[in-house]
Amino acid sequence: MHARAKKALEIFLKEDIGRGDITSKLLPRKKISARIISRQVGIVAGVQYAREIFSSRKCQVRILKKDGDKVNQNDTIMTITGPAYSVLSCERTALNLLSRMSGIATRTNYFVKLVKSTKSRTQIYSTRKTAPGLRIFDKEAVEIGGGKRYRVSLDQMVMIKDNHLAVSGSLLDIVRAAKKRHRRFEIEVESLDDAVMAAREGASIIMLDNIPPREILRIIKTLKHLGLRDRVRIEASGGIDASNVKNYARTGIDMISVGKLTSSVLGLDLSMEV
């Protein structure tokens, strides 16, 4: 497990427990067993982190459903054995993270299946629209659900967007500045002309932001006609949801980024029973 993740889990626990679980301290000092169960159908994600939370407080954990597994209502995901105080004081932190990650994985998997039903090679990607402090977990959950992740942080790849253009004043100038320093860069465009320019200037990825499928087809057709399509990956973003994702996939783009996978999370309904 990555050191950053392990450190984050300890911070999460301390946030919830504070100076001590004063309610659980009222209970007899005894060893108990509990199980985490699913209340609905979904894809499990975050099992290793839930296990680490309990294990850090000297509990024994048995995994019954691993990351990426489908669960049905009342399926047991894991069992926990340990001191009553430890099990109960870890309960909410483990459930919160497991529920969030499983919700993200479940929704991502739904989008992935919608795209696959079109026989398209388009892939679903996460964005940086994640909860502060939870990015490594949110991004991993998307991957567990069958999606892809890239640009976890701003230092990983240049992505030139509208606000960068507002500061620079010239899309061509900032693109050429990027080429001098970086081998790979992405450009957000809003028109056919800008898409052609970006491809000619050597962009690795062109993001078509809030552009409807019909216009995307026209852009791709033009890039093919100019012999530029194979040089660049095409990404669609903005306003894409379950109702229209298949229409975007059918255009032949390479990537669809969906911010709502991690920005509007509906956690999977889980509970722990002693």
Asked if residues 81 and 63 have their Cβ atoms less than 8 Å apart, the reply is no
Contact (CB, 8 A) for 115 and 54: no
**Environment class of residue 243 by beta-carbon count within 10 Å: exposed (0-12), middle (13-18) or buried (19+)?**
exposed
In sequence order, the β-bridge partners of residue 233 are: 205
The domain defined by 114-263 carries CATH number 3.30.420.40: no
Kindly list the catalytic residues.
92, 129, 161, 188, 209
Note the pLDDT of residue 166.
85
Instruction: Provide the pairing of β-strand 42-43 with 70-71.
Output: antiparallel
CA nearest to 126, candidates 270, 268, 269, 264: 264
| 8 Å CB contact between 45 and 68 | yes
Delimit the domains of the chain by residue range.
3-112+266-273, 114-263
* Structure-token pair, residue 53: 């939370």
- What's the half-sphere exposure (Cβ side, CA atoms, 13 Å) at 44? 24
What CA–CA distances, in Å, run from 94 to 100, 129, 160? 10, 22, 38
pLDDT of the chain, 274 residues: tens digit per residue: 788 899 999 999 999 999 999 999 988 899 999 999 999 999 999 999 999 999 999 999 999 999 999 999 999 999 999 999 999 999 999 999 999 999 999 999 999 999 999 999 999 999 999 999 999 999 999 999 999 988 888 898 899 988 888 888 788 888 889 988 988 999 999 899 999 999 999 999 999 999 999 999 999 999 999 999 999 999 999 999 999 999 999 999 999 999 999 998 999 999 999 9
> What integer pLDDT is reported at residue 162 of this predicted model?
85
The span from the CA of 156 to the CA of 204, in Å, is 14
- Beta-carbon contacts of 173 under 8 Å, excluding residues fewer than 6 positions away, are none
- Asked if 267 and 103 touch (Cβ cutoff 8 Å), the reply is yes
**Confidence at residue 190, expressed as pLDDT on a 0 to 100 scale:** 86
Q: Are 78 and 50 in contact (CB under 8 A)?
A: yes
Q: Are 109 and 146 in contact (CB under 8 A)?
A: yes
Looking at residue 188, its pLDDT comes to: 93
For residues 127 and 154, is the Cβ–Cβ distance under 8 A?
no
Q: Which residue has the tokens 């989008």?
A: 111
pLDDT for residue 150: 80
Q: Does domain 3-112+266-273 have CATH number 3.90.1170.20?
A: yes
Number of DSSP helices (H) and strands (E) in the chain, helices first: 10, 12
